[in-house]
């Protein structure tokens, strides 16, 4: 027994006014043939040595018991279900409508009823996938008042926007799924977008006038030199041989990743000038990887875009790869930089 509070009032056990202790007690019970340990809260009378529960405590203890069972069975707890619903600022009734469940289903799940595994999986998906929530919301629009619908949609779009980096990462990783195990194309390493973002920030902080075409080449040279020295690239990026040199697969999406910053500038056409993201820290690149990139910065950092493109065209890796095909890291051994 653990005392968590004391209140002087009418004791429901002895019916006298005195200091009543509010205590936590570890209890055991069985739910669906499963033994469960949970924390219950009672009022304790020192005179009668008895525990009592008012209506609120009965409800709270039952919920604690059910949540302990949920945790044991790896189901969402009542608080986690509430958090998912509140994430989208939806009422209990409307949340059930959006899901196509009984009107009181969410209310029951948040209070006393344990959800089944199928409903639990749906709730988890809603938590991780705001895009799906938006689709369900639009599908059940006629079941929800117009004002509430507009409010929920606005909130869901805000949540969706906040998850945009996760969706970007997912789309990029899906592009790379076909290269899994193709070590000669990946540089012997699985794609690591955290390192990609750090590489771009490091280059942007050490190279003046870093535009898109030049950045793509510096990334390839960094990975190729790392492979030449240690048998592994830094990033796991896969590079195609485009007319202006090596370009990583999914480069347009990579540019939009959280943590990458650039200014849009106008020359003969729109161009992107990369810059280090304010407050960004390099935490995942190893000392050896940074030293490899430092060599590339020293050797190529002062070249113009045109000069680095010409240099790229002279590399065996480019000359031995058909246009728009993937460049093999097997050619890195003949890289012009050591």
pLDDT in tens, 191-226: 999 999 999 999 999 999 899 999 999 999 999 999
What is the chain's length?
A: 338
What pLDDT is attached to residue 141?
95
What pLDDT is attached to residue 1?
86
Q: Which is it for the CA torsion 114, 116, 117, 119, positive or negative?
A: negative
Cβ atoms of 39 and 26 closer than 8 Å: yes
Instruction: Compute CA 253 distance to the chain's CA centroid, rounded to the nearest angstrom.
Output: 16
Give CA–CA dist 284/236, Å, rounded. 14
Domains of the chain, by residue range, sit at 2-70, 78-162, 183-334
Position 124 pLDDT exceeds 90? yes
Mean pLDDT, the chain, integer: 95
Residue written as tokens 């990458």? 260
Banded model confidence at residue 12, pLDDT cuts 50, 70, 90 = confident
What pLDDT is attached to residue 267?
56
The secondary element (H helix, E strand) that includes residue 43 is strand 34-45
What pLDDT is attached to residue 272?
85
What pLDDT is attached to residue 271?
75
Q: How many CB atoms lie within 10 A of CB 2?
A: 10
Mean pLDDT of 114-124: 96
Give CA–CA dist 251/262, Å, rounded. 14
Min mean pLDDT across 5-14, 82-91, 321-330 is at: 5-14
Q: How many CB atoms lie within 10 A of CB 45?
A: 20
Mean pLDDT of 253-263: 95
Query: Would you give the DSSP letter of residue 198?
Result: H
Token duo for residue 329: 């890291």
pLDDT, tens digit, 9 for 90 and up, residues 262-303: 998 765 555 789 999 999 999 999 999 999 999 999 999 999
Torsion of CA 220, 225, 226, 231, to 10 degrees: 110
Give CA–CA dist 15/184, Å, rounded. 81
Nearest of 174, 195, 173, 176 to residue 239 by alpha carbon? 176
Token duo for residue 9: 């009032």
- Percent of the chain predicted with pLDDT > 90: 95
Q: How many CB atoms lie within 10 A of CB 89?
A: 15
What pLDDT is attached to residue 269?
52
Residue written as tokens 């790392």? 226
**Structure pTM?**
0.73
What pLDDT is attached to residue 266?
60
- Percent of the chain predicted with pLDDT > 70: 99
pLDDT, tens digit, 9 for 90 and up, residues 15-69: 999 999 999 999 999 999 999 999 999 999 999 999 999 999 999 999 999 999 9
Nearest of 105, 55, 53, 112 to residue 78 by alpha carbon? 112
């Amino acid at each position: 027994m653990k005392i968590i509070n004391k209140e002087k009032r009418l004791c429901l056990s002895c019916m006298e006014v005195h200091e009543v202790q509010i205590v936590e007690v570890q209890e055991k019970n069985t739910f669906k043939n499963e033994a469960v340990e949970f924390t219950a809260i009672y009022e304790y009378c020192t005179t009668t040595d008895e525990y009592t529960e008012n209506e609120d405590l009965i409800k709270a203890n039952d919920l604690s018991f059910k949540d302990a069972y949920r945790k044991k069975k790896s189901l969402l707890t009542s608080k986690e279900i509430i958090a998912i619903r509140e994430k989208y600022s939806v009422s209990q009734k409307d949340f059930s409508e959006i899901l196509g469940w009984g009107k009181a289903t969410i209310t029951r799940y948040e209070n006393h009823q344990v959800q089944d595994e199928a409903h639990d999986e749906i709730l988890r998906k809603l938590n991780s996938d705001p895009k799906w929530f938006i689709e369900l919301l639009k599908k059940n629009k006629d079941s929800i008042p117009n004002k509430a619908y507009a409010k929920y949609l606005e909130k869901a779009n805000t949540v969706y926007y906040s998850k945009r980096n996760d969706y970007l990462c997912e789309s990029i990783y899906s592009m790379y799924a076909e290269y899994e195990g193709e070590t000669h194309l990946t540089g012997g390493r699985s794609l690591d977008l955290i390192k990609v973002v750090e590489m771009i920030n490091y280059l942007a902080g050490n190279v003046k006038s870093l535009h898109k075409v030049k950045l793509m080449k510096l990334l390839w040279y960094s990975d190729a030199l790392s492979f030449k020295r240690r048998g592994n690239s830094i990033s796991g990026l896969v590079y195609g041989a485009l007319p202006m040199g090596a370009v990583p697969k999914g480069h347009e999406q990579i540019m939009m990743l959280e943590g990458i910053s650039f200014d849009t500038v106008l020359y003969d056409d729109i161009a992107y000038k990369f810059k280090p993201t304010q407050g960004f820290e390099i935490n995942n690149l190893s000392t050896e990887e940074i030293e490899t990139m430092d060599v590339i910065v020293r050797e190529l950092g002062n070249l113009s875009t045109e000069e680095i493109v010409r240099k790229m065209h002279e590399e065996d890796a480019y000359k031995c790869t058909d246009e728009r095909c993937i460049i093999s890291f097997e050619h890195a051994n003949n890289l012009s930089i050591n």
